[in-house]
């Protein structure tokens, strides 16, 4: 039986933004429209005991930020929607970069007052490199913010996107009356109660009609007409082919916290967004409608349920049909495995799945078999490309603060490092352990999780390093030479690969000049 109808039903996308732009709130409201949850959580309120569905780790609830990607699936208008809510904070960018390898499109959330921020630029750059189609959602229209045209200029200039507004705000902040949906020719009237009743959506095919003035007032109606004239003159018409190639980005305006503009975004998204796309491997291009199953692990998370000490590998299905209790080849290990309780996700809530299709994300209980980037197939040896592991930029010595809990500390460190939240290096000269991360906040998260999930405590000691680079050579003598001569600068990673620890950019340059037969790698993707 063909799996094409199942593929046609699926939309898998990531939501990316700078912290505090409202990404997790938008995720909540999309779930609300999909009937996946009954009421939205208050992401930052300590008074309300509900929390955002997608922020399931204890530390996320305390800090009010997302520190790990969470996966949620729901049905909407006969389609299966898979959302990956990513961390916005730059210290967790590595998790986000890897997650973007598992999506087919993205929604970029921008705060109307703050405009385009640095982390958004970095994440959009990753999407652009992969030609991932992007829709922009300008959020928090109920607050005072930047002029709509200034914002569009900023998005084009800073993010390098060609934009195409599909909705346009009527006023902003105190004057915010609603949004005119250019895609459906409807006026959505804003009511701050956040319920968005259907009688507040008015069909207005001709914005020159007097009915517009009756709904929003003469001044607002004139401003909207003038703005729409500029929009239709300056910006290109929507072209789905250009959007799917990543060459055109539709823009929507709304207020996620008030539930406003979210349904329009979702309705348009499911119409235009791509179905699961082909994936590149070192061997060949893998198409989703192939009969043979294949998928790759893009994330590993330990202790999603701290009571059960479970560890879950997130598998993106790329082709064929995944079935429960079926033998599949673990390509890196070259051995056959089957899974008796693969799960589908609703953030921390999980349910067992019998089968899954391209575009779906499946959780596999993992006693330690998987690493990020691993492939599972029906038997073919495939190696999926473009799943990065970055060279860390922050370093600290990690010391055991409780000698009675050494085993717990070793186990916790080993599992957290497998998740990809940090890199662990062991120095050649004295055996001391060094933790390397992309951002400083990760040290805090690791310390918290070691204590609360593994009962271990650690202390950090400062370490001034510029870079950690993996080193390889085709000449065993050259490798032996650098290891013996530069022992104090050499460490091994968790897999036993040699790493050069450079104290400064100058020291790294000198090492590269002095050891011409050694290759210095800044990501571990080469392994």
Are the C-beta atoms of 185 and 204 separated by less than 8 Å? yes
pTM of the model: 0.74
State the average pLDDT over residues 41-66: 40
pLDDT value of position 117: 84
pLDDT value of position 35: 65
Q: Closest Cα partner for 120 from 145, 153, 152, 155?
A: 155
pLDDT, the chain, mean:
81
Question: What percentage of the chain carries pLDDT values higher than 70?
Answer: 82
Beta strand 79-85 with 355-356 is unpaired
Tell me which range, 81-85, 92-96, 154-158, is most confidently predicted by mean pLDDT: 154-158
Place of tokens 């000698």: 403
Within 13 Å and on the Cβ side, how many CA atoms surround 486?
A: 24
Question: What percentage of the chain carries pLDDT values higher than 90?
Answer: 36
- Using the predicted structure, report yes or no on whether residue 520 has a pLDDT greater than 60: yes
- Using the predicted structure, report yes or no on whether residue 1 has a pLDDT greater than 70: no
The residue count of the chain comes to 527
- Using the predicted structure, report yes or no on whether residue 435 has a pLDDT greater than 60: yes
Rounded Cα–Cα distance for residues 310 and 383 (Å): 26
Within 13 Å and on the Cβ side, how many CA atoms surround 490?
A: 17
Place of tokens 């609360």: 452
Which has more pLDDT, 419 or 317? 317
Which has more pLDDT, 412 or 215? 412
**What domains are defined for the chain?**
13-66+104-272 (3.40.50.300), 279-377 (3.40.50.300), 394-526 (3.30.70.3280)
State the average pLDDT over residues 4-31: 84
Q: Report pLDDT digits (tens) over 158-185.
A: 999 999 999 998 888 888 888 888 888 7
Rounded Cα–Cα distance for residues 300 and 452 (Å): 18
State the average pLDDT over residues 443-447: 83
Rounded Cα–Cα distance for residues 45 and 24 (Å): 14
User: Cα–Cα distances in Å, from 147 out to 138, 161, 234, 369, 499?
Assistant: 11, 18, 16, 52, 49
């Amino acid at each position: 039986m063909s799996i094409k109808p199942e593929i046609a039903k699926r939309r898998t996308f990531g939501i990316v933004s700078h912290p505090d732009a409202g990404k997790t709130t938008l995720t909540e409201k999309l779930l609300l429209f999909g009937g996946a949850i009954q009421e939205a959580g208050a992401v930052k309120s300590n008074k309300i005991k509900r929390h955002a569905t997608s922020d399931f780790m204890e530390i996320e609830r305390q800090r009010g930020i997302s520190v790990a990607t969470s996966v949620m699936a729901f049905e909407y208008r006969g389609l299966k929607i898979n959302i990956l809510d990513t961390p916005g904070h730059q210290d967790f960018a590595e998790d986000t970069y890897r997650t973007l390898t598992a999506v087919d499109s993205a929604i970029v959330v921008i705060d109307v007052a703050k405009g385009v921020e640095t982390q958004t630029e970095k994440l959009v750059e990753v999407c652009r490199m992969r030609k991932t189609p992007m829709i922009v959602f300008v959020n928090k229209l109920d607050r005072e913010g930047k002029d709509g045209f200034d914002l569009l200029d900023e998005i084009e200039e800073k993010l390098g996107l060609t934009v195409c507004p599909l909705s346009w705000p009527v006023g902003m902040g105190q004057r915010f009356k609603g949004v005119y949906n250019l895609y459906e020719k409807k006026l959505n009237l804003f009511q701050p109660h956040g319920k968005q009743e259907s009688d507040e959506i008015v069909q207005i095919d001709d914005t020159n009609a007097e009915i517009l003035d009756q709904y929003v007032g003469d001044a607002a109606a004139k401003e909207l007409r003038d703005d729409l004239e500029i929009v239709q003159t300056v910006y290109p018409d929507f072209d789905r082919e250009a959007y799917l190639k990543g060459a055109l980005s539709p823009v929507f305006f709304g207020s996620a916290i008030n539930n406003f503009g979210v349904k329009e975004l979702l309705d348009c998204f499911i119409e235009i967004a791509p179905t699961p796309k082909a994936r590149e491997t070192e061997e060949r291009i893998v198409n989703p409608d192939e009969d043979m199953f294949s998928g790759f692990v893009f994330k590993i998370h330990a202790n999603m349920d701290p009571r059960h000490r479970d560890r879950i590998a997130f598998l993106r299905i790329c082709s064929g049909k995944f079935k429960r209790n079926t033998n599949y080849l673990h390509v890196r290990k070259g051995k056959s495995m089957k899974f008796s309780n693969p799960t589908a996700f609703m953030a921390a809530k999980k349910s067992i799945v019998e089968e899954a299709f391209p575009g779906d994300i499946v959780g596999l209980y993992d006693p330690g078999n998987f690493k990020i980037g691993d492939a599972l197939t029906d038997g073919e040896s495939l190696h999926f490309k473009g799943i990065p592991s970055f060279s860390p930029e922050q370093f600290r010595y990690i010391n055991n603060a409780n000698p009675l809990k050494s085993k717990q500390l070793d186990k916790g460190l080993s599992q957290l490092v497998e998740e990809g939240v940090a890199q662990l290096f062991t120095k050649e000269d004295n055996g001391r352990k060094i933790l390397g991360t992309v951002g400083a906040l990760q040290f805090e998260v690791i310390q918290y999780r070691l204590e609360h999930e593994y009962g271990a405590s650690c202390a950090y000691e400062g370490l001034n390093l510029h870079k950690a680079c993996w080193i390889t050579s085709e000449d065993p003598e050259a490798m032996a030479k650098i290891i013996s001569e530069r022992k104090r600068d050499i460490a091994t990673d968790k897999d036993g690969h040699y790493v050069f620890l450079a104290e400064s950019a100058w020291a790294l340059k000198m090492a590269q000049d002095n050891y011409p037969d050694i290759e210095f790698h800044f990501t571990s993707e080469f392994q």
